[in-house]
Structure 1
């Protein structure tokens, strides 16, 4: 209808670009609809389908939607017990992968990624428990299963830490390989019942007073604990669910705690008089930037090539997707350009090796689409990389693969990315620092919520059932901080190592809090059987950690402030525990000492500025 009036067509396109960016405020589904509308409009602009071609295009769209609907419907018919068994098998698989990485430490990032996978499976199991009654599908109560899963996670992580330490010191005991073989048996997907029982019996003997003491060999002791923890999970999953089990924990025990628990957020600073847009919602600011970028990309793209200008517009649009900060836009822009350049090189190489055989080119396209969908969510650079490989393969199948087309692909992509970055930094620009600080504050609020649960439980005012939910909220907040730093890596050039060090310390805090949550839940389950003196020592330690957390949080607000005066480390308070202290009290105190150590590192003054200050 508007095709005879090109200015009107382009004006509608620019408005649609802004609308597609703005609707992201309503969640992933709205963002997907906006992106689909943008791509559909862009498709009609450069393909210009005629009226008699529309039925064919509509049929293709209906077929794609129907395929997606059938796939999603098939997934929804999964039985709850099968889903639970699959998640528990995934937990064992992730644990085995983490142990293999720890035994052969090459890169610390690989182990952290695999430990994060264990965390993700743990959260998925908690989500399953929110949706289904545990006792109906497995032979234990909701709280018992939650504690078994947490035990398996914590024991596996502690074993990985000790494996890394032992490998670095070359001090692995001579019996360690045999001990690890028992753990591998329990984690194996097709291990026989007899082998699992033999491994369980070994772990039970190793941890009992009658068996050979292994406490002198920390690694064997931790391996035995991990073996027993995973064996208990296996035993629980093999028992069918029944409604005759003891009364379960209340359903609210796995609900997410209130996000406003802990220290109240600081009041927002008033916006500077001449920059009121900094108080706008991020999607509103990004919508204006995206519209200006689309307008400029159309002009620049057509100046480069009248037939391939849409590549520049697409790049200018997608660099604003999946981020809310100018630092994120910069990072996505350079990853899009790098992925496109790499895709051209690999795509041309694959086409040359294929010998122009159509079947091979189709296979290359299918593999590239799989890589884009599988690896794209992990890191954005893979999306343009594999998409460009598909483009190269398709042009080769059409017989239109020329070097000038590939040059235009790279030039248009670079132009669109540069325009997007310039608009993000020059139009309604706002620093990325507040977004990062906000996510860090959320992390500290989640930490404080868990510490409050621990204080109530060791003070006899709670049963600790909220500890697991508080831990999951802390893990989610930690993941948000890590994702934000990763998305701003280009803007943090020169300070990226400092930011990554802060993320690693937050990871130490979170993993120590896993041990703390385990101790809190066990303390709540044992009721009043713990020595009161030991509980008071733990409560004092919790108060000290909360003060250290306040200092660490303030560091992100007052750059260069090294925090308050240092007190003695918490680990020095171990001697205050009574001789009859329970295991949960001892474990809680050591976990709190590790949390405090990481928080002290966060408050140490550094010569560089806080991460993200100028992003």
Structure 2
């Protein structure tokens, strides 16, 4: 349960998704209420009593009332989660713009509804345009989504309504806008500063959780298995998986806060961002050393273990003077081995740095609140709907870069690729869906369209499409139970549907299935109110959904596919080049050459690694055999290499006199080996990675014994060299060492033979 709550909180660090879900559901409730009152007051879309037999008129008017409420509710719901502009004024403008594309699409749908072929062709064209307009950013995305929903409603309602009823529909849409605006600007009025405060609280709670896990890990006794070079140091203890997850979430939260700072106060955010970065980096190192200590502490180090545990717990409780006292004690007492002494001292140094950064961070926040102005800064990422952009940068890079395969040479902007794919998928869905049921084919169309929403490559599209089938299957069963349990009574069933729909929107970033279950339950209630509900209808919905999903899967695998392997290869290259830039600039500084600010390099590395992880996540359970082993190896090594590179950059930046000419031979070999890996990733050409650890050690022997920070930097450089050597072996490169003439990996030896990603 604790892990589940932690994962949920990690997916929504500033409660942005919780607020979005609440906003969407309240928007639906208010819109439905407004439309109901409007229809009762004006008789909108209602037939006069003399229009036919009373029973028929009553049933028709009830159905049209439901339709009116549906139109207003859909607009309010979409306004709740597609309008994500940074300022209230921009949010209002975006909300007011939503009715135009929706009404235009409804009008065309009603106009072409009587003409079968034309209306089906219009659905395909509309879906293609709705995807293409994403090229214009969030407002383009919103316009495309509401336009599709409008066209869908026009096709769905053309038998009940005509073009002459568009005015009443426009009134319903307008009431949806009023409802959404009322909820956003009155009921749930928010501002970036409050969102930032929620993010800060979430960050502090996660930091405490990380330190708590670190203390529990340190307190664990006995050595544990550890892979060579310490690459898997965060993966071997019962707490290590949780510890690693906390480190990742903390890094993501830090990136989000930095981007949010620019939205709240761009002229005074630099200092706070800098101190937040320092605190996060110190915590990352604390986690790394806590995970490594049980490997090296012996029974003779019981007092040292207890001291480390007490120091970490003091940091968790934010007792900064006590942290310094206990860290100083750790630095003065050697361990039973040189390795234990080094790790404990590094942990002590990291705890001291964390305490200092947190105190300065508190001061920076107070200064910013007083309006102290400093130079602006550029965050590493721009938020998308309040969250990190996920795999979008990686997929965009892959789409515009030729792949190595024969059928992967075609390059095009992502929105063009998706537009062509959805045109084909929509055509297949329409044709096959029409054969299954000529009227209900819109379910197939809907499934095909939604598989392309918020997805950027083949792996994500297939995954989302399969989630839709699963959610529909679950939803029709639960929906059938709901209708029979409530007897179709709206007052009894609607609260349940709203709760499930709320959970679906809130959990959509965790698993799309929840959203589909909520929507399917809502539709079950809707069809009951329209007098069309039956088990056969629900099964037909599942069949048509399967048709749409099948059309998507077939299309994205055949038509200009952006295969997961190509996306991962692009992500690995982006990540590696960010790491290479940080390493190159760190070496420049160590050699006394031109100095560059390393913080921006570290943040660029963090952003590229987060994008790589987002791109790799859909493949975690979808690859088998050799590919699965290689993917797991690359993820583990990239994570470890990032830790070491960040720690290296931080240590180098703190050096007062970093001039180390003895490091030149090691720097030469490292740069040559990094260039060899880059060539391997870009062109597939095999090369050799020459380990520089022996040369780094030689340079370390020339340092004074009291140059502790310089020794720590070279230790991180050695660890980074080891991680990169393992990465080269995973890419099937040869790995050589200055200490021996033997090959350490590559060519299929040592269990590392594997094709490049």
Q: Which of the five TM-score ranges fits, normalised by the shorter chain?
A: 0.7 to 0.9
* Alpha-carbon distance in structure 2 between the residues aligned to 1:387 and 1:513: 46
What is the total number of aligned residue pairs between the two structures? 574
Q: Report the counterpart of residue 674 of structure 2 in structure 1.
A: 549
- Over residues 404-432 of structure 1, what are the superposed CA-to-partner deviations in whole Å (9 max), with x where a residue is unaligned? 23322322221111111212233345655
* Alpha-carbon distance in structure 1 between the residues aligned to 2:266 and 2:427: 55
Q: Report the counterpart of residue 613 of structure 2 in structure 1.
A: 482
* Alpha-carbon distance in structure 1 between the residues aligned to 2:489 and 2:506: 26
- Over residues 301-341 of structure 1, what are the superposed CA-to-partner deviations in whole Å (9 max), with x where a residue is unaligned? 23223443211111122223334433443333223223333
- Please state how far the C-alpha of 1:508 moved relative to its aligned partner: 1.8
2:174 to 62, 78, 87: 62
1:205 aligned onto 2:315: no
1:201-350 superposed matches below 5 A: 201-208=321-328, 213=333, 216=341, 218=344, 221=348, 224-225=351-352, 228-229=355-356, 231-233=358-360, 235-237=362-364, 239-241=366-368, 251=376, 278-345=410-477
Conservation of the 8 A alpha-carbon contact between 2:501 and 2:515: no
- Please state how far the C-alpha of 1:185 moved relative to its aligned partner: 1.8
- Please state how far the C-alpha of 1:236 moved relative to its aligned partner: 1.6
Greater relative contact order, per chain length (Cα 8 Å cut-off, separation 6+):
1
Q: Report the counterpart of residue 194 of structure 1 in structure 2.
A: none
Conservation of the 8 A alpha-carbon contact between 1:294 and 1:313: yes
1:373 aligned onto 2:505: yes
Q: Report the counterpart of residue 50 of structure 1 in structure 2.
A: 161
Between 48-57 and 27-36, report the one with greater CA deviation. Answer: 48-57
- Over residues 83-114 of structure 1, what are the superposed CA-to-partner deviations in whole Å (9 max), with x where a residue is unaligned? 65544333212212334555476576554443
- Structure 2 unaligned runs (5+)? 1-110, 218-236, 336-340, 382-397, 733-751
1:34 aligned onto 2:144: yes
- Please state how far the C-alpha of 1:30 moved relative to its aligned partner: 1.5
- Please state how far the C-alpha of 1:239 moved relative to its aligned partner: 4.1
2:657 to 515, 530, 552: 530
1:146-161 superposed matches below 5 A: 146-161=273-288
Conservation of the 8 A alpha-carbon contact between 1:331 and 1:489: no
Between 2-11 and 228-237, report the one with greater CA deviation. Answer: 228-237
Conservation of the 8 A alpha-carbon contact between 1:278 and 1:430: no
Q: Report the counterpart of residue 445 of structure 1 in structure 2.
A: 577
Cα 1:128/1:3, change in 2 over 3 Å: closer
* Alpha-carbon distance in structure 2 between the residues aligned to 1:353 and 1:507: 50
2:206 to 80, 91, 94: 94
Q: Report the counterpart of residue 467 of structure 1 in structure 2.
A: 598
TM-score, normalised relative to structure 1: 0.78
1:278 alignment partner, SS class:
coil
Conservation of the 8 A alpha-carbon contact between 1:205 and 1:211: no
Cα 1:588/1:170, change in 2 over 3 Å: closer
- Please state how far the C-alpha of 1:154 moved relative to its aligned partner: 2.0
* Alpha-carbon distance in structure 1 between the residues aligned to 2:691 and 2:123: 59
2:317 alignment partner, SS class:
helix
Q: Report the counterpart of residue 588 of structure 1 in structure 2.
A: 713
Conservation of the 8 A alpha-carbon contact between 1:541 and 1:589: no
Conservation of the 8 A alpha-carbon contact between 1:354 and 1:361: yes
Q: Report the counterpart of residue 364 of structure 1 in structure 2.
A: 496
- Please state how far the C-alpha of 1:502 moved relative to its aligned partner: 0.9
1:591 alignment partner, SS class:
helix
- Over residues 256-276 of structure 1, what are the superposed CA-to-partner deviations in whole Å (9 max), with x where a residue is unaligned? 8xxxxxxxx9x976999x979
Conservation of the 8 A alpha-carbon contact between 1:446 and 1:473: yes
1:564 alignment partner, SS class:
strand
Conservation of the 8 A alpha-carbon contact between 1:85 and 1:237: no
* Alpha-carbon distance in structure 2 between the residues aligned to 1:253 and 1:532: 29
- Over residues 28-75 of structure 1, what are the superposed CA-to-partner deviations in whole Å (9 max), with x where a residue is unaligned? 331232122122101211122525654454344334434544566678
Conservation of the 8 A alpha-carbon contact between 1:343 and 1:386: yes
Between 570-579 and 393-402, report the one with greater CA deviation. Answer: 393-402
- Please state how far the C-alpha of 1:443 moved relative to its aligned partner: 1.6
TM-score, normalised relative to structure 2: 0.65
Cα 1:114/1:452, change in 2 over 3 Å: same
- Please state how far the C-alpha of 1:505 moved relative to its aligned partner: 1.7
2:607 alignment partner, SS class:
helix
Cα 1:254/1:27, change in 2 over 3 Å: closer
Conservation of the 8 A alpha-carbon contact between 2:670 and 2:691: no
1:576 to 696, 701, 711: 701
* Alpha-carbon distance in structure 2 between the residues aligned to 1:71 and 1:461: 57
1:515 aligned onto 2:647: yes
Cα 1:591/1:384, change in 2 over 3 Å: farther
Conservation of the 8 A alpha-carbon contact between 1:530 and 1:581: no
1:208 alignment partner, SS class:
helix
- Please state how far the C-alpha of 1:478 moved relative to its aligned partner: 1.4
Conservation of the 8 A alpha-carbon contact between 1:327 and 1:490: no
Conservation of the 8 A alpha-carbon contact between 1:392 and 1:401: yes
Conservation of the 8 A alpha-carbon contact between 2:669 and 2:690: no
* Alpha-carbon distance in structure 1 between the residues aligned to 2:441 and 2:426: 11
- Please state how far the C-alpha of 1:579 moved relative to its aligned partner: 1.5
Conservation of the 8 A alpha-carbon contact between 1:22 and 1:283: yes
Which structure has the larger Rg over C-alpha atoms? 2
Conservation of the 8 A alpha-carbon contact between 2:330 and 2:344: no
* Alpha-carbon distance in structure 1 between the residues aligned to 2:458 and 2:645: 33
Cα 1:63/1:549, change in 2 over 3 Å: farther
Conservation of the 8 A alpha-carbon contact between 2:276 and 2:358: no
- Structure 1 unaligned runs (5+)? 187-198, 257-264, 524-528
- Over residues 102-157 of structure 1, what are the superposed CA-to-partner deviations in whole Å (9 max), with x where a residue is unaligned? 547657655444322211232234335555768868xxxx45x4443223112222
2:306 alignment partner, SS class:
coil
1:424 to 553, 556, 576: 556
- Please state how far the C-alpha of 1:226 moved relative to its aligned partner: 6.6
2:410 alignment partner, SS class:
helix
1:289 alignment partner, SS class:
helix
RMSD of aligned Cα (Å): 4.2
Cα 1:436/1:244, change in 2 over 3 Å: closer
Conservation of the 8 A alpha-carbon contact between 1:344 and 1:389: yes
